[in-house]
Each structure stands twice: as C-alpha cells, then as structure tokens.
Amino acid sequence: MNDHSTTAGLSEQGMRVQLRVNGERVDREVLVRQHLVDFLREDLGLTGSHLGCEHGVCGACSVLLDGELVRGCLTLAVQAQGKQVQTIEGLSDSGELAVLQQAFLEHNAMQCGFCTPGMLLTALSLMKEDSEPSRETIRAYISGNYCRCTGYQAIVDAIETAISRSKAQGALS
C-alpha cells in the first residue's frame, strides 16, 4: 500500500481564486488539485462542459481561458486565478456561437451532443484564426475533439458553412 501521509496534506490544500466566468465575478476557495472543468461543473453548476476522458484526448471539456482554447481536464482551477473563463453557456448567451450553432443544427452536426460544446468552442477558435480554412484544415483543427456518433463530415460541413456565412456577414457590415 502507498504511503499517503506525505501527499494527503497537499491534496487537501485549498487556495482562494478570483476570476470571471462568463463575465460574472467568482470568488471561491478551491482545492489546489481540482481541475478547472470539475470546478465549473461541481462548484458553479456549469454542466455544459463535459468530461469524456480526463486526460486531454477527447476535447469534450474545452473552454476558453482568456480567449485561448484549453482543456478543462488538463487545467487546474487555480490556474484560472485572475483570468476570464468562457464556457458553452456564456458563449451561447452572448450570441458569439450563434452562427456556428445554427449551422450545426441545419447540418445535424451532432447526435448525442456530448462532444458538441467542445466542438463548437474549437470551431469558434478556428473561426477567429482563419477566415477561409480548407476542409483539410477544418478536419485537422478539430482532430483533438472526439465524436463517436457522427462521421465528422456533417461537423466539417457545418463549420465550413458557418465560417463562410460569418465572413459574408463581416463583408456586409
């Protein structure tokens, strides 16, 4: 059996974090070992970010940390100290995902929906980086997001549609 006497102290150690989550101020005591996605889900009740693999492969827990796409299961809650966290809930309410969500709906680019929040946030991140990605680029960009239900094709179609629509809207405004 392992000797836990030395590690038990650290694993129970807490720390106060102050951050903004979807624009709201959050001030909490968290365990230093707690992951960001667990903090969002368990402490804040933001259950839209999902836990699929807990080691950074499936992408279902993706959130934005100061605008950067991160894995909520590989980021500690304390790493969000002083930062802005955006989740599927906030980005839906703000309308930032609306074009992508509409395209996903039209293309049926989801089935069970478990991967969808992470997929949408990843697509949003691509949209900000590249206004004219090829299908190969889209496929490569979402390669860190696991979907067991679709054949990925509808997702690629939806992202392609959303990016071209958003570009057209940008050109009009």
Partner 1 sequence: MNARSELPVQTSDQSKLQNGYIGQSIPRSGAKRLLQGRGTYLDDIRLPRLAHVAFFRSPHAHARIKSLTLDNARKQAGVIAVFNGQDVAAFCSAWVGVLGHLKGIKSAAQHAVAVDRVCWQGEAVAAVIAESRRQAEDALDFIEAEWELLPVVTDMRDALAGHSVIHPELGDNICFHRELKTEGFEAAWASADVVVEKTYRFGRHTGVCNEPRAILADYNPAEHSLTVYHATQAPNMMQDIFSRHLNIPESNIRVICKDVGGSFGIKVHVYPDEMATAALSVMLRRPVKFQADRAESFVTDIHAREHEATVRLACKRDGQIVAFDLEDLTAIGPYSVYPRTSGIEGNQVVNLTGGPYRHLQYRAKLDVVFTNKNVTCQYRAVGHPIAVALTEGIVDEAARSLDMDPAEFRRINLIADDQYPYSFPSGIKFEKLSHHQCLDRLLALMDYEGLRKQQAALREQGVYRGIGLAAMIEVTNPSPAFYGVGGARISAQDGATIRLDPAGMIQVLVSVTEQGQGTEAVFAQIAATAVGVSIDKVRVMTGDTAVTPYGGGTWASRGAGIGGEAVLQAGKALRSNMLDVAAAILQLDKASLDVRHNAVISKLSGELKLEISELGRIAYFRPDTLPMGFQSELTVTRHYTPREYGFTFTNGMQASLVEVDIDTGFVKLLKHWCVEDCGTVINPMLVDEQIRGGIVQGIGGAMLEECLYTDDGQLLNGSMADYLVPMSAEMPDIVVDHVQTPTRSSELGAKGAGEAGTAGAPAAIMNAINDALAPLGANLSTQPFTPERVLQALGKVA
Residue of 16, 128, 135, 167 interacting with partner 1 (CB under 8 A):
135
Is position 18 an interface residue for partner 1 (rule: CB under 8 A)?
no
Is position 9 an interface residue for partner 1 (rule: CB under 8 A)?
no
User: Using CA atoms, how far apart are residues 40 and 36, in angstroms rounded to an integer?
Assistant: 6
Q: Which amino acid is located at 85 in the chain?
A: V
Is position 104 an interface residue for partner 1 (rule: CB under 8 A)?
yes
Q: Is residue 121 exposed (0-12), middle (13-18) or buried (19+ Cβ within 10 Å)?
A: buried
| Of 13-21, 64-72, 74-82, 156-164: span binding partner 1 (CB under 8 A) | 156-164
Annotate the chain with DSSP letters as a single string. Answer: ----TTHHHHHT-EEEEEEEETTEEEEEEEETT-BHHHIIIIIT--TTS--SSSSSSS-TTEEEETTEEEETTTSBGGGGTT-EEE-HHHHHHTTTTHHHHHHHHHHT--SS-SSHHHHHHHHHHHHHH-SS--HHHHHHHGGGS--SSS-SHHHHHHHHHHHHHHHHHHHH-
**Residue 36 or residue 107: which is nearer to partner 1 going by CB?**
107
Is position 133 an interface residue for partner 1 (rule: CB under 8 A)?
no
Smallest distance from partner 1 to CB 68, Å: 19
**Residue 80 or residue 110: which is nearer to partner 1 going by CB?**
110
Is position 10 an interface residue for partner 1 (rule: CB under 8 A)?
no
Residue of 30, 80, 116, 163 interacting with partner 1 (CB under 8 A):
116
| Of 16-24, 50-58, 125-133, 165-173: span binding partner 1 (CB under 8 A) | 50-58
Residues lying near partner 1 in the complex (CB under 8 A) are found at 1-2, 4, 11-12, 41-42, 45, 47-58, 60, 87-89, 92, 97, 101, 104-117, 120, 135-136, 138-140, 142-157, 160
